[in-house]
Amino acid sequence: MQSAKLEHYHSRLLAERDQLIHEMDRIRDSIPEEVHPPGEHETAPSEGLEADVSLATSESQRLRDIEAALERIKARTFGKCANCGREISEARLRAVPSALHCATCEKSAGAI
């Protein structure tokens, strides 16, 4: 991939990462410090809280994908499928710059 394009995806990924970190901070702030208090007060977390926790989990997964994509830009392997090594289509990268797999592998592996 050309340097200019790599640079373009690099800045998009950085912006996305910043946004995600900001969002995760917001979620973390909304989760009470002690979800499982020790001792007798073992109350089940509310549904809303569970949703927030699972949202935080999927956000941190996305953050890992973005970090991995940034590493791949550094290593100059960005744009190649991590599974089969084929080029990931530009349409796909434009939609999901952090995509680590081509559409074919993503489909066959389910939601990665």
Interface contacts to Zn ion, rule CB under 5 A: 81, 83-84, 102, 105
Position 22, amino acid? H
17 vs 28: CA distance, rounded Å? 16
**Residue 32 Cβ, how far from Zn ion at the closest point, in Å?**
42
**Residue 78 contacts residue 1 (beta carbons within 8 Å):** yes
Position 60, amino acid? S
H helix intervals, the chain: 3-30, 47-74, 90-95, 103-108
**Residue 89 Cβ, how far from Zn ion at the closest point, in Å?**
11
26 vs 87: CA distance, rounded Å? 36
**Residue 45 Cβ, how far from Zn ion at the closest point, in Å?**
38
Q: Strand, helix or coil at 87? A: strand
**Residue 86 Cβ, how far from Zn ion at the closest point, in Å?**
5
